[in-house]
Amino acid sequence: MLKASGIRVADDDSWADMFSRVIVERVEPQLGFGRATILDEYPTSEAALARRSPRDNRVAERFELYACGVELANAFGELTDAEEQRRRFEVEMAEKQRVYGETYPIDEDFLAALDVMPAASGIALGFDRLVMLATGAPRIDLVMWAPVTDYGP
């Protein structure tokens, strides 16, 4: 494992691995100070359930809202093309096989539902993240209203 400009890089890292690492380690902590910030038009590979942008098919209709370095919301235009979603799932499973040596079945019921789903979009706003921001808590586990229990072996 190497460190390029302070970012960890492994020999088998994919473009998506490096993109995610740069976003998480370098970009996100700087967003939303002084005013709310929206980061939008994610690469399609980083938006598994979002439809492609009609302006540029390399990016998806996805955005995230940040304040004080905290992601508050994630939103996207729903991908309702079952064939495209199947292709994305297959790419995802090939990567899971490469990295972890295992896969899981593609959800055929979900894909069938896409065939009858109208155009839609949505946004998920994290209440726990709002509380974290309001209280100045440095970690989300400090503001969770219900304790998270580890049911591991």
Model pLDDT, residue 133? 87
pTM (2 d.p.): 0.76
Model pLDDT, residue 37? 96
- Cβ-proximal residues to 151 (8 Å cutoff; 6+ apart), any chain: none
Strands 62-67, 70-77: pairing kind:
antiparallel
List, in sequence order, every residue forming a beta bridge with 50; answer none if it has no partner.
Answer: 78
Six token digits for residue 76: 């996207």
Model pLDDT, residue 149? 67
Q: Going residue by residue through the chain, which has 153 residues, state the pLDDT in tens, using 9 for 90 and above.
A: 455 567 778 777 888 888 888 888 889 889 999 999 999 999 998 898 999 999 999 999 999 999 988 889 999 999 999 999 999 999 999 988 988 999 999 999 999 999 899 999 999 998 898 898 899 898 888 998 776 666 656
